[in-house]
Amino acid sequence: MEAATHRYCAGMPQLCFTGLSENWLLKECGHRHWEALAAHSGRDAPDFVAEDGARSYAAFTAIRLRAKGLDCIAENDGFEILTSLSRVGAVRHFSSHSVMSDGIARASLAMSTTFVQRHAARDNRSVARATLAALTGDVIPMSDEARQMTLLGKRLRAGERDAWERLATCASSQHAPCVFSPCPNNDFNGADFLYFASFQAFVDRAEWQRHRFAEPPVLVGRDLHFYGNVNVGDTLAVHVVAERVDETGVAHWSEVRRGSDWQKIADVLTEKQWRRR
């Protein structure tokens, strides 16, 4: 699929304390992925129905964000997001997004989804892969990046401590899990799922609870791998597997676990560098 370009002027919704908001960027690129899915399948709107007639949604399974200066984008700055999407499986799609400002690539974002459906009404713990035989578009081989993301997700889910070289030699973290009660008005989306961008927000809030840095660091890398969801009223806990804070910045691997059964529903790798203003 040819890349689509969308132009923006940075305002308060797009910005945060450290420049372009990662949370906004995840949401916007997620929306672009969703719209590209509709276009790719010849639909006017992203309305998908599984073979059994149930409403189906494209659930994110993995996201990789690499940033090279999100703090360089300030109020009223213009920037662009270039989006392309391809079908890499029967119900799997992969999209790439590039953030450009002043002709410079500020960030790249890779997103992988699979179609899912609920097998019990209003129960996000009953979500499973859906079958959509009516999907159109040729299936192409996964890119190297998509394969790397898939392999990393399998290793993280299995709890392999050397899955991320950055923290392979770190001792296990002694921090107690940070528990949250997701709010329906802020953390869930219109499909009644805990929104994928909320996972990033909870991990950052847990980091801030552990470290009240005098100068908050700037994101350079984030990997998110998703395995499940929660229902409204359930809690979740962010458990730090390992963490490193040194002269270069901050890096941590966090597991997100569901409070009702302690099931791991996500792994999040985070790397930030100290901000020099």
Domain ranges of the chain: 4-273
For the stretch 69-106, pLDDT in tens is 999 999 999 999 999 999 999 899 999 999 999 999 99
Between 144 and 276, where is the model more confident? Answer: 144
Task: Give the H/E segment covering residue 149.
Answer: helix 144-157
The radius of gyration computed from the CA coordinates of the chain, to the nearest angstrom, equals 18
For the stretch 226-240, pLDDT in tens is 999 999 999 999 999
Mean pLDDT across 4-13 = 97
pTM tops 0.85, yes or no: yes
What letter represents residue 82's amino acid? L
Q: Cβ distance 94 to 148 under 8 Å?
A: no
Q: Which of 263, 261, 264, 262 is nearest to 253 (CA)?
A: 264
For 84, left (φ over 0), alpha (ψ -120 to 50), or beta? beta
- Range 4-273 has CATH code 3.30.390.50: no
Percent of the chain with pLDDT over 90: 83
